Amino acid sequence: ADARRTSSPPHHSISRIEMVDHVVRLPLTSRVGVGALVLLHIVHRTAPSVSAILCLVPGNTFSGMVWNVITSAFVERSLVGLVVSSAAFGIFGRIFEPRWGLHETWRFVLVCAVSSALGSCVFIMIIYVATRSEQLLFVELSGLSGVVSGIAVAIHQAAHSDAQRAEVPTWLVGESRKVAMLYLLIHASWCLLTGRAVEILLAVNGLTFGWVYLRFYQPHESELGPSASVGDTSE
């Protein structure tokens, strides 16, 4: 009995091994995405001045700080946002990287991030021209909500595609639209409660441009050959 007790690894050691194993088995898209989110969240907490350079500020972006349209997506200022965005990246990578490939999954992420950022900037600039409120030029936007909204669209599309339905978790197949709408509702409520209502624009633009890309522009060479059509061929 003593020998068995001494040869058995501690329970906490097994848990750590299992945790590391789960992380290693995550697709590269998920690992890189979650890693970037965690890193920039730490930067935001420990070096706010650096974080401010990475966030989307319309006045600065149009003045030359164009990297904001990408970096801002990975700056989650709240722990809740970090957890939600990390979970979304984990699900996204597991479902789509095996089918789309690493290149296309990241192209989709960047399309949603850049289009949601630029769309929000343009909208804010239009309001600025109409109101001449200079505060609008220096409002900070950040977070992955634009990409998460695009991911919700992709999951909804996959859940209704005969070719991709098997790759979507069972609990999402019949509830994909409700999950997307629930996320937008909770996100909008959170933005209003925290005084960052302008960040609702990121989610709305991500949803819109994510759908446009998937519906009309996403290439399917890996499935249909070099002369493949683009967009959602299921409709």
SS (H, E, C) the chain: CHHHHHHCCCHHHHHHHHHHHHHHHCCHHHHHHHHHHHHHHHHHHHCHHHHHHHCECHHHHCCCCCCHHHHHHHCCCCHHHHHHHHHHHHHHHHHHHHHHCHHHHHHHHHHHHHHHHHHHHHHHHHHHHHHCCHHHHHCCECCCHHHHHHHHHHHHHHHCCCCCHHHCCHHHHCCHHHHHHHHHHHHHHHHHHCCCHHHHHHHHHHHHHHHHHHHHHCECHHHHCCCCCECCCCC
pLDDT tens digit at each of 235 positions of the chain: 444 555 555 555 545 444 444 455 689 999 999 999 999 999 999 998 888 899 999 988 888 899 999 999 999 999 999 999 999 999 999 989 988 999 999 999 999 999 999 999 999 999 999 998 888 899 999 999 999 999 999 988 888 776 566 567 666 666 777 888 888 899 999 899 988 889 999 999 999 999 999 999 888 754 445 555 566 655 4
pLDDT in the model for residue 51:
83
**Segment 37-51, tens digit of pLDDT:** 999 999 999 998 888
User: pTM of the entire structure?
Assistant: 0.82
Residues 6+ apart with CB under 8 A from 7: none
pLDDT attached to residue 67: 93
Measured CA to CA, the distance from residue 53 to residue 193 in angstroms comes to 25
How long, in residues, is the chain?
A: 235
Query: What per-residue confidence (pLDDT) applies to 18?
Result: 47
**The pLDDT of residue 210:** 95
Q: What is the pLDDT of residue 157?
A: 84
